[in-house]
Structure 1
Amino acid sequence: MSDRIDAAIIALNARLNGAALDGTAKFVVPGEGAILVDNSGARAGDDAADVTLTADGEVFEAIIQGDLDPATAFMSGKLGIDGDMGLALKLAGALG
């Protein structure tokens, strides 16, 4: 696991602030690791999830820091989404 993933877990937990997700989401940063997000918060892990969001490290950081809207990243092809789009939208709203 990378330092970027470790820092992102802390940032995600602060930004989500206990938001209810009704499922499990996974952020994947190829070559660096994965983060699972559910009602318990964010943690390192690569287990199965209802939705998987994949982006390179720079895009992932920009989304986590609030500098890039997840919907914009998806529409521009910078963020891949596989699985429950409704959950992905709920997660995007919680991050916004």
Structure 2
Amino acid sequence: MHITIAWWDRSDVASQQPREDAGICVGNYPGLLVGTPISDDERDRDGWALVWETAADADVMMGTVAVSAYGCAPSHSWGFDLNLTSAAHLPTLPEQLLLLTS
């Protein structure tokens, strides 16, 4: 399983507000298992925590997701692998990432 954390700076005019239809629908992006919006008011940014089946899925689809959500590439992003026993049909972020939503 591969995790992508993507942030858009609110000060960037192009990404101040998510697009009207910014909900990232899991079924629209091959390999995307979970997409959860996140925000960091202290650093004045919004973003998404995305759980992918593989890093290859993230590499192929992340540009499309970014444009769908904000109309541009993220200001900051990084990815890493997370080894979980069951990746299929996650209802929410894995427990290890829930701190992003608090």
TM-score category of the 2 structures, normalised to the smaller one: 0.3 to 0.5
More helix by share: 1
- Computing the radius of gyration over CA atoms, which structure comes out larger, 1 or 2? 2
| Structure number having the greater strand percentage | 2
The two structures have a TM-score, normalised by structure 1, of 0.34
